[in-house]
Amino acid sequence: MIRGTSRKQTGRVTERRKASPPRKRSGSQRTSRQEAKPRASSPARTKVRGNAVPQPAVRKAGPEHQAALKDFETAIRFFQKKDYGKAAALFGKITEGPVREIADRARVHLHFCERKRQQESTPKTAEACYAHGVAALNSRDFERALQYLSKSNKMKPGQEYVHYALAAAYGLQGDPDNALSHLATAIKLRPQNRGQARHDEDFQVLAEDPRFTQLLGIDARRS
């Protein structure tokens, strides 16, 4: 009984030992599968890291970009408050900066601010139009000068100083016919304008025109 029992037990142990190798093989297969997973996922991780920190984002975070963005945000606040003077000053500063994309955006807003400022500063009286015309004439913006001076002349005709300024503007623009016509009217309304025109540098462009010499007169050229 004892011997038989021991033989049966020995047989069972032998069967267990024979069954153990497949378990080891299945375990090795699991290990190989587990080891294969990191290899498949490693390229994806590298790709995510590369997209997470692109080069343009690094450049945009520089001090020049931050300073331009801060000025732009401040200019926008002035713009929203309709303070176009201060907004235009900041937008103009940004357009000269090194950050191109912000400079382009600022340039668009700057043009809008300039148009608004011109609309708000449009003169509404003959005297104001004359003042704006003379200012434009001194800055050699002849088109604006003629625009304001002509408007002043229509609003209040017969002002000799307006005709005198119109004569200078037309002469500098290269229109001698209109220049001499307005100068003749200015001299007729105020004869002293004849001597003033002779010494005025703005009329030097008409010095070679015989009509200009005749209009001024011999006595005026000698005085």
Our count of domains for the chain comes to 2
Looking at the structure, do residues 135 and 78 belong to the same domain, yes or no? no
pLDDT at 23: 52
Looking at the structure, do residues 131 and 203 belong to the same domain, yes or no? yes
Residue 188 belongs to domain with CATH number: 1.25.40.10
pLDDT at 162: 96
Residue 24 resides in a domain: no
Choose one of 120, 145, 166: the last residue of a domain.
120
Report the half-sphere exposure of 8 (CA within 13 A, side-chain side): 5
pLDDT at 19: 47
Looking at the structure, do residues 192 and 142 belong to the same domain, yes or no? yes
Looking at the structure, do residues 138 and 162 belong to the same domain, yes or no? yes
Looking at the structure, do residues 105 and 145 belong to the same domain, yes or no? no
CB contact at 8 A, 180 and 203: no
Looking at the structure, do residues 141 and 99 belong to the same domain, yes or no? no
pLDDT at 111: 87
pLDDT at 120: 66
Give the domain range for residue 149: 126-218
Looking at the structure, do residues 212 and 133 belong to the same domain, yes or no? yes
* Angle CA 199–201–207, to nearest 5: 80
Q: What are phi and psi of 139, to 5 degrees?
A: -90, 5
Residue 55 resides in a domain: no
Looking at the structure, do residues 134 and 195 belong to the same domain, yes or no? yes
The residue type found at 152 is S
Looking at the structure, do residues 131 and 162 belong to the same domain, yes or no? yes
Choose one of 80, 100, 120: the last residue of a domain.
120
- DSSP for the chain reads -HHHHHHHHHHHHHHHHHHHHHHHHHHHHHHHHHHHHHHHHHHHHHHHHHHHS-HHHHHHTSHHHHHHHHHHHHHHHHHHTT-HHHHHHHHHHHHTSS-HHHHHHHHHHHHHHHHHHHHHT---SHHHHHHHHHHHHHTT-HHHHHHHHHHHHHHS---HHHHHHHHHHHHHHT-HHHHHHHHHHHHHH-TTHHHHHHH-GGGGGGTT-HHHHHHH-HHHHH-
pLDDT at 1: 41
pLDDT at 89: 87
> What does the pLDDT profile of the chain (223 residues) look like in tens digits?
434 434 444 444 444 444 445 554 444 444 444 444 444 444 444 344 544 444 434 344 588 888 889 989 999 998 888 888 888 888 888 888 888 889 899 989 988 888 777 766 678 899 989 988 898 898 889 999 999 999 999 999 999 999 999 999 999 999 999 999 999 999 999 999 999 998 899 999 999 999 999 999 844 444 4
Residue 116 resides in a domain: yes
Looking at the structure, do residues 104 and 136 belong to the same domain, yes or no? no
